[in-house]
Amino acid sequence: MKNRIIGILSVLATLLLEYGCVKDNKFASTPQGNFEALWTILDHNYCFFDLKKETFNLDWDSVYVQYKAQIHPDMTERELFDVLGSMVNELRDGHVNLITPFATSFYDSFYMDYEPNFSHDFLARSERYLAKDCYSTGGMCYKIFPDGIGYIYYGDFSNVLSDRQIMEILHYFKDCHSLIIDIRGNGGGNGDFAKTLPGFFTDKETLVGYIRHKTGPGRNDFSESQSITVKPFNGTGVWLRPVVVLTNRECFSAANDFANNMRYMPYTTLIGQPTGGGGGFPFTKELPNGWEIRLSTAPTFDREMNPVEQGISPKILVKTGTEDYITHGVDNIIEYARSVLFAAYLLGYE
Amino acid sequence: MLSVLPVAAERSVDTVMELPVNADRWNSKATFRTQTSTSLGAGQVRLLDQYLSDNMYQGVAINFNREITLGLKRHSNMWSYFYYSLTYAPTYDYSKSSITHYLMFHFDYTHYFKCFQNARFSILAGPGVYFDFGGLYKPSNSNNPAQLKSNLSLSASLQASYRFRIKNYPMSLRYNMNIAMLGVMFAPDYGMLYYEWFMLDQDRYAGSFAWWGNSWAMIHKFSIDFYTSRKVQLRLSYTAGFDGYSMNDLESRLNSHIISLGIILRRAYLAVQK
C-alpha cells in the first residue's frame, strides 16, 4: 500500500512539474532579444515576402544582417525604436506598425510619394461640394447635385453606419439617377463594412475575391484560398442604378477592399487614381518588452487571384490638384464623374 | 418504485423529506445523501497563448465554485460528483503595458466508485465529463483580439480523503484530481482570422480532436473541512487548474491557483416508496 501511494504521488508530482510552469517569451527583454523577437515574428507571420521580393527586391534575410549590426546593448528605447521602426518599414506595408507607449512607426510612402488628387479641406469649404446643402451622419456627408446626382463623401471606415442610416441616405437619393461615392483619403477601418456596404448595390450574390491565412511559421505556409462574396442587402439590394466610386492613393486597407468589392457590383465604375493597397489583414503580436507589432498575415486577392496589396487601378484614371481648386474652384475627379454619369443618364445608361 | 429525483428539484417535491443528519455519519435511513459546498476564492492566473501573444500574462483571479456530492443508499459504493466554477482575472504582461481578460466557466461530473475505505481513509475513482468554456480577450490586438477556450472531454478522476480529529473537532482532508482524457476542443489555425469566422462563416479550422498527445486539462483540489455545527461545515481549499495545448504551431497554457473558503451543507433525504 505504501509503495502504491508513493507511486501515485510520484506520478502527480511529475504531472505538476510538467504542466505547472508557464514559460515566458523565449527571447530576452534586451535590445538584442527584442530585435530577434521582432525579426522572427515577422519571419514567421508576415504574408507578403514573395510579393515584396518581386516588387521591391526585398530580401528579408539581408534585412536581418543589416539591422542586427545596428543593435547594441546600451541603446536607449528611442534608439531601439528608430532602428526597429526602420527595419519594419523595409516591408513597405502600411499595415506593419511598431507600437510603443511613446511612438508608432508607420509606412506612409504608399501615398506620400504620389500626388494627393484630393483635398478634404477644399471640399469642406466649397459651397459647390460639402459646405452647402450637405447632411452628415455616421461619418458620411451627402448631398444632391443640381444635375440630379447623389454625392456621398465617406472618409473613414472606422465610422460604421447602421443599415437604417444607409437606407435613410439612399431613400434621400430616391429621385437621383445616379450616385457618386467618394472615398478618397479613406485610410480604412472596419473590414466588415467593406463587405456589407456593397451589398446595397447588387441584387445577386457576387464573388469579389479570395483570402488565405498562414497555417504555420514557414514563409509559404498558407491555407487554401477561401472565397469572399458580397450578398445583396435583404436579398434584393437597394440601389440598382449607376454608381461611381472615387479613389486615390490614400484609399487603404478596408477602403482598398471596398474599392475592390465595388468594382464587381453591377452599374459601378471606379474613377480617380489607384488605391494605396493594404490587402493583408493585420494581426498583432508582442515583443518581450511589451511593444506591439501589427503585421499583415492574411493576404486577400481579387477574383482573378491577383493580390490587392499594391492597390487597385480605377477603370478611368483622372487627376486633380491645387490648380483645379484655386483657378477653377472645382475638383476635377468629381466633375469628371458627374459628366460621365450625366452623359450615361442622357444616353439611357448605355 | 423509488422516485429518483434530481438534486435541484428535491426540496420542491412532496415525496422527499429532509432529515436531520449527524455531521460525521449520514442518517442510515436516508435514501439520498448530498453534500453541497459553495465557495468564493481568489488567487492567481498565469497564461501564455501564442495566438494572442508570445508573452506570459498573469493577474489576480476571483472565483466562485460549487461542489455537489450525491450518494444513493442503494448503491453505497457509488457517488455522483458535480463541480462547477467561474473564474475571472485581468492579467498583465511583464511590462504592464497590455491587458488580457480571462474568463472561464468549468464544469465536471464524475461517477465515483469506492476503491478503498477504512475508518479514516478512503479512495474513490471514476470516469466523468470535463467541460471548459471561456476565453481570453486582448483589446489591443487587431484581427486576433480574442481566444475562445472550449473543451469537452471524457475524464478520469481520483479522490482521496482522510478523516481525523483535533481535540473534539472532526475534520477531513481531501485531495481530488480530475484529468480530461479524450474529447474535442477549440483550437484556431496558426493565423486564422476572426474575420474569417464571423464574416465569411468559415469555421472548418475551429474544432480539434483533443487527447494527451496535443492537449491537457486537469484540476487538482486540496481541501480541509472544519466542523462548525450539526449541519454546516467550512471548507478551505486550494485548487490548481492546468490547461493547455500544443497544436497548429501554437502553444497555449492556462494555469490557475485559487484559494477559496466556503460553506458545506450536508443533507440527507428520504425518497418515499410508491
DSSP string, B85-124: EEEEEEEE-TTS--EEEEEEEEEEEEEEEEEEE-SSEEEE
Which residues of chain B make contact with A211, given a CB cutoff of 8 A?
A: 193, 196, 200
Q: Do B98 and A290 make contact, defined as CB atoms within 8 angstroms?
A: yes
Comparison of pLDDT for A160 and A339, the residue scoring more: A339
Residues of A in contact with B47 (CB under 8 A): 22
Do the chains contact at A22 and B46, CB–CB below 8 Å?
A: yes
> What is the model's pLDDT at position A87?
98
Q: What's the rounded Cα separation, in Å, for the pair B20 and B268?
A: 7
Q: Mutating which of B92, B124, B142 best tests the A interface, going by the most A Cβ atoms within 10 A?
A: B142
What is the C-alpha to C-alpha distance for residues A5 and B116, in angstroms, rounded to an integer? 12
Write out chain A residues lying below 8 Å of B249, CB-based. 216-217
Q: Chain A interface, mutation test: which of B51, B193, B215, most A Cβ atoms within 10 Å?
A: B193
- A127 — pLDDT class (breaks 50, 70, 90): very high
| Residue B95 confidence (pLDDT) | 84
* Chain B: closest CA distance from residue A215 (Å): 5
Whether chain A has a CB inside 8 Å of the CB on B118: the answer is no
Distance from the Cα of B261 to chain A's closest Cα (Å) equals 23
Query: B94-110: per-residue pLDDT in tens?
Result: 888 899 999 999 999 99
Residue A241 DSSP class = S
Q: What is the mean pLDDT of residues A301-312?
A: 96
- Cβ under 8 Å to A: B residues 1-40: none
Where does residue B143 fall: left (phi above 0), alpha (psi -120 to 50 degrees), or beta otherwise? alpha
Distance from CA of B8 to the nearest CA of A (A): 34
What pLDDT does residue B9 have?
Answer: 35
pLDDT in tens, A217-254: 999 999 999 999 999 999 999 999 999 999 999 999 99
pLDDT at B17: 32
Residue-wise pLDDT for B32-46, tens only, equals 678 899 999 999 999
pLDDT value at A335 more than 50 = yes
C-alpha–C-alpha distance, residues B248 and B225, integer Å? 43
Cβ of B255 and A19 within 8 Å?
yes
For residue B12, pLDDT beyond 60 = no
Distance from the Cα of B255 to chain A's closest Cα (Å) equals: 7
pLDDT tens track for A26-69: 899 999 999 999 999 999 999 999 999 999 999 999 999 999 99
What pLDDT was estimated at residue B200? Answer: 73
The tens digit of pLDDT for each residue in A143-188 reads 999 999 999 999 999 877 899 999 999 999 999 999 999 999 999 9
Residue of B nearest to A300 (CA): B196
CA–CA distance, A325 with A331 (Å, rounded to integer): 6
* Chain A residues touching residue B58 (CB < 8 angstroms): 22
Is the confidence at residue B206, as pLDDT, over 90?
A: no
Task: Mark yes or no for CB contact A288/B94 under 8 Å.
Answer: yes
Q: Cβ–Cβ of A298/B143 closer than 8 Å?
A: yes
Distance in Å, alpha carbon of B252 to nearest chain A alpha carbon = 9
Q: What pLDDT is recorded for position A7?
A: 74
The answer to whether residue B4 scores a pLDDT higher than 90 is no
pLDDT-derived band of residue B15, with 50, 70 and 90 as boundaries? Answer: very low
Question: How much is the mean pLDDT over chain A?
Answer: 92
Secondary structure, 3-state, A144-207:
ECCCCEEEEEECCECCCCCHHHHHHHHHHCCCCCEEEEECCCCCCECHHHHHHHHHHHCCCCEE
Contacts of A297 in chain B (CB under 8 A): 143, 191, 193
- B153, B125 in Cβ contact below 8 A? no
pLDDT in tens, B253-272: 999 999 999 998 876 665 54
Q: Which helix (H) or strand (E) is A209 found in, with range?
A: strand A206-211
pLDDT of residue A30: 96
Please report the pLDDT score of residue B130 as a whole number.
Answer: 96
Is the distance from CB of B254 to CB of B241 less than 8 angstroms?
yes
Give A146 to chain B, closest Cα distance, Å: 39
A25/B55 Cβ within 8 A: yes
Q: Does B196 contact A213 at a Cβ distance shorter than 8 Å? A: yes
Mean of all residue pLDDT scores within chain B: 83
The residue type of A19 is Y
Predicted structure pTM score: 0.86
- Chain B residue with CA closest to A228: the answer is B200
Residue B140 sits at the chain A interface (C-beta within 8 Å):
yes
Q: What percent of chain A has pLDDT over 90?
A: 84
